[in-house]
């Protein structure tokens, strides 16, 4: 069954004025309608929210939002994957006299400012991220954590971009591979003024190669909060040329406006550019300076393959209406005159067994061009079945962890340290006899400061936020393995030496409640040379273990695993050349193998 279903919500405005009556009034009818539509159309695989989850970007609003998300998930059943982007209500607006906010008004015309905003760790980008701090915390704790512990039936990979809510996400289920591209379109809307034709989005917000990412999917969606008409002329041109040229996406989902609307633009190329606008989900009653009434409701979408290279996109918009006796009901939106279209799909239809099972057919030379490239690199490996080699490293790591020891994995960027941490978390429960929630993976690149770190740690541990003795007391009688990735972040001035002191205190000794497994590009004694007289350094309890390049046999094993079922076979001389070129570096090997695979499927 090549079919994916998703629910599109927008503009929840959790925490808004009047919510004490507005949401309680709408909740029962809305959740009941979700249950009825699910019984009729099936449970959604995804729930997409195109911004304005909160009302003013504050932590308490996202805490309330979690309860609403749980209610929606329970109503639709199953385990839908939530995917969200921020809107202009998901950031904390600066004070009126804020000098940096005033400076950002020149963003559309200032190339240097634009570069700074999308340069990692620049002061400008740090400023923007602080405005989205509570959204980013929700996004990390509620959304990304779910992606990382995704249901088994999803083959999921993702990359994060320069601002909170920028990402490339790939999900494969029910025979369809769907790409979802998220863009933060709200980072310049810093007050309640009119920003139409003043906002910007940049291709640099997205990680990696966008056209190649889209090519590796059956179909792709673009998500952002604002309609393209709100972009500045310069940014609108970039949007249409570099981000959404006609035909790249099935459609662009957005919110911010006031009613359901599906539109298609056709230019001189004849290729379509589609937009799917959402109404507000019981959010603000009015919008804009004219206080126009905002329609409320939601929409469901189905994408189904109808042939090898074609599919059908159907939508089912639901609108809320108060009857003349005051009762709230949801019904089919009468303004929707057309509710399905044919759309092209990029990959070949997967063959299926008939009544008598038979081996799946392999692609021939003529249809290899439709194959997704199995060597596409999507970051760390989280599925142990896709993990290759490192057997001796894993044996040594688990042996040390059984004894309550600590380790630091040392190696250059993209050598496989993050994948090792993830595989330890996946295999650890069986290898160490611990419950799954006793092995924690934390990527420090997503952590803003020491307070953020302890919040994340305690959240993953399922305990009240704490540090120091209170944290030690809550960990009493527990055994936890903490895998810290990108440990270089602890060198930042936002992470005082006390963070490392507390980690050492919790992990020092065979009977300590915490075992540390760190990943670093730099030896710890060089990474943390500060405060030698204050405390015993962290590196004294975390002996380093070098992660070497792949051996030749591991390189060949990786290629064989990725090529399995593709119908493509590399020759022995080609494999030898890949080993030589890559020198066993996993990321280099994948890049070279991806180029070779593209030659086999007839792509330049």
Please indicate, yes or no, whether the overall pTM of this predicted structure exceeds 0.75: no
Angle value at C-alpha 137, between 460 and 471, nearest 5 degrees = 40
Banded model confidence at residue 204, pLDDT cuts 50, 70, 90: very high
Banded model confidence at residue 442, pLDDT cuts 50, 70, 90: very high
Asked if residue 322 has pLDDT above 70, the reply is: yes
CA 160 to chain centre: 6
Render pLDDT for 519-535 as a digit per residue (tens, 0 to 9): 999 888 888 875 555 55
Lowest mean pLDDT among 1-15, 32-46, 317-331, 415-429: 317-331
* Contacts (Cβ under 8 Å, ≥6 apart) of 528: 490, 491, 500, 537, 538, 539
**In the block, which residue shows the tokens 């959790």?**
14
Render pLDDT for 343-389 as a digit per residue (tens, 0 to 9): 999 864 443 333 333 334 434 433 444 457 888 766 788 888 888 99
CA atoms of 209 and 469, how far apart (whole Å): 47
Banded model confidence at residue 331, pLDDT cuts 50, 70, 90: confident
**In this predicted structure, what is the pLDDT of residue 339?**
80
Asked if residue 147 has pLDDT above 60, the reply is: yes
For residues 408-420, give the mean pLDDT. Answer: 91
37 within 8 A of 318, measured Cβ to Cβ: yes
Taken in order of first residue, the domains within the chain and their CATH numbers are: 3-344 (3.60.21.10), 390-543 (3.40.50.300)
Pairing status of strand 297-307 against strand 3-9: antiparallel
Residue 401's SS3 state is helix
For residues 274-290, give the mean pLDDT. Answer: 64
332 within 8 A of 315, measured Cβ to Cβ: no
DSSP string of 405-465?
A: --EEEE--TTSSHHHHHHHHHHHHHHHHT--GGGEEEEEGGG--SHHHHHHHHHHHHTS-S
**In this predicted structure, what is the pLDDT of residue 83?**
97
**In this predicted structure, what is the pLDDT of residue 133?**
95
Mean pLDDT for the chain? 85
Render pLDDT for 83-125 as a digit per residue (tens, 0 to 9): 999 999 999 999 988 999 999 999 998 999 999 999 888 999 9
CA atoms of 162 and 588, how far apart (whole Å): 23
Per the model's pLDDT, the better-predicted residue between 330 and 256 turns out to be 330
* Cα–Cα separations (whole angstroms), residue 157 to 55, 148, 509: 30, 9, 37
11 within 8 A of 284, measured Cβ to Cβ: yes
In this structure, how many other beta carbons lie within 10 angstroms of the beta carbon of residue 239?
24
**In this predicted structure, what is the pLDDT of residue 18?**
58
Render pLDDT for 152-183 as a digit per residue (tens, 0 to 9): 567 888 999 999 999 999 999 888 999 999 99
Percent above pLDDT 90 for the chain: 54
As a whole number of Å, the CA-based R_g of the chain is 25
559 within 8 A of 575, measured Cβ to Cβ: yes
52 within 8 A of 283, measured Cβ to Cβ: yes
**In this predicted structure, what is the pLDDT of residue 372?**
74
Question: Which helix (DSSP H) or strand (DSSP E) does residue 490 occupy?
Answer: none
**CA nearest to 566, candidates 365, 395, 413:** 365
What are the beta bridge partners of residue 176? 173
CA 255 to chain centre: 19
**In this predicted structure, what is the pLDDT of residue 365?**
37
């Amino acid at each position: 069954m090549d079919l994916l279903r998703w629910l599109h919500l927008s503009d929840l405005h959790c925490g808004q004025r009047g919510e004490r009556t507005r949401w309680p009034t709408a909740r029962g009818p809305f959740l009941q309608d979700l249950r009825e539509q699910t019984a009729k159309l099936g449970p959604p695989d995804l729930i997409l929210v195109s911004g304005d989850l909160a009302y003013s970007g504050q932590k308490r609003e996202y805490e309330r939002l979690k309860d609403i998300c749980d209610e929606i998930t329970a109503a639709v059943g199953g385990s839908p994957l939530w995917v969200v982007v921020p809107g202009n209500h998901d950031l904390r607006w600066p004070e009126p006299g804020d000098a940096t906010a005033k400076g950002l008004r020149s963003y559309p015309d200032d190339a240097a400012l634009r570069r700074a905003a999308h340069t990692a760790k620049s002061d400008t980008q740090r400023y923007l991220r602080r405005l989205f701090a509570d959204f980013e915390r929700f996004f990390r704790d509620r959304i990304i954590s779910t992606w990382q512990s995704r249901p088994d039936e999803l083959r999921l990979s993702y990359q994060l971009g320069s601002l909170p809510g920028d990402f490339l996400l790939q999900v494969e289920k029910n025979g369809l591979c769907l790409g979802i591209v998220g863009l933060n379109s709200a980072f310049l809307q810093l007050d309640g003024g009119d920003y139409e034709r003043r906002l910007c989005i940049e291709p640099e917000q997205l990680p990696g190669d966008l056209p190649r990412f889209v090519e590796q999917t059956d179909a792709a969606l673009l998500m952002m909060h604002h309609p393209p008409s709100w972009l500045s002329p310069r940014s609108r041109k970039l949007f249409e040329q570099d981000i959404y040229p006609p035909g790249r996406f099935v459609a662009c989902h957005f919110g911010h406006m006031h009613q359901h609307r599906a539109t298609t633009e056709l230019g001189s190329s004849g290729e379509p550019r589609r937009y799917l606008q959402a109404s507000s989900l019981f959010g603000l009653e009015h919008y804009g300076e004219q206080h126009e009434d905002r329609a409320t409701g939601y929409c469901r979408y189905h994408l189904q393959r109808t042939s090898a290279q074609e599919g059908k996109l159907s939508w089912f918009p639901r609108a809320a209406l108060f009857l003349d006796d005051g009762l709230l009901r949801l019904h089919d939106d009468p303004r929707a005159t057309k509710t399905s279209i044919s759309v092209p799909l990029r990959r070949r239809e997967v063959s299926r067994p008939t009544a008598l099972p038979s081996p799946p057919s392999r692609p021939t030379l003529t249809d290899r061009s439709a194959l997704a490239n199995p060597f596409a690199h999507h970051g760390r490996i989280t599925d142990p079945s896709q993990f290759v080699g490192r057997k001796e490293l894993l044996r040594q790591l688990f042996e040390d962890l059984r004894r309550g020891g600590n380790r630091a994995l040392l190696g250059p960027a993209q050598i496989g340290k993050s994948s090792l941490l993830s595989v330890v978390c996946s295999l650890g429960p069986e290898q160490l006899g611990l419950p799954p929630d006793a092995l924690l993976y934390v990527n420090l690149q997503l952590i803003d400061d020491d307070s953020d770190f302890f919040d994340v740690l305690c959240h993953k541990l399922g305990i009240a936020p704490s540090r120091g003795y209170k944290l030690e007391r809550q960990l009493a009688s527990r055994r936890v393995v903490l895998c810290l990735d990108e440990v270089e972040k602890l060198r930042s001035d936002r992470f005082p030496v006390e963070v490392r002191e507390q980690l050492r205190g919790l992990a020092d000794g065979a009977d300590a409640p915490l075992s540390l497994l760190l990943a670093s590009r730099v030896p710890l004694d060089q990474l943390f040379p500060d405060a030698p007289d204050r405390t015993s350094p962290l590196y004294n309890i975390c002996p380093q273990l070098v992660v070497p390049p792949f051996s030749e046999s591991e390189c060949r094993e990786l290629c064989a695993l990725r090529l399995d079922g593709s119908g493509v076979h590399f020759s022995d001389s080609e494999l030898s050349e890949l080993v030589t070129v890559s020198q066993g570096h996993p990321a280099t090997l994948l890049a070279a193998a991806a180029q070779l695979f593209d030659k086999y499927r007839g792509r330049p």
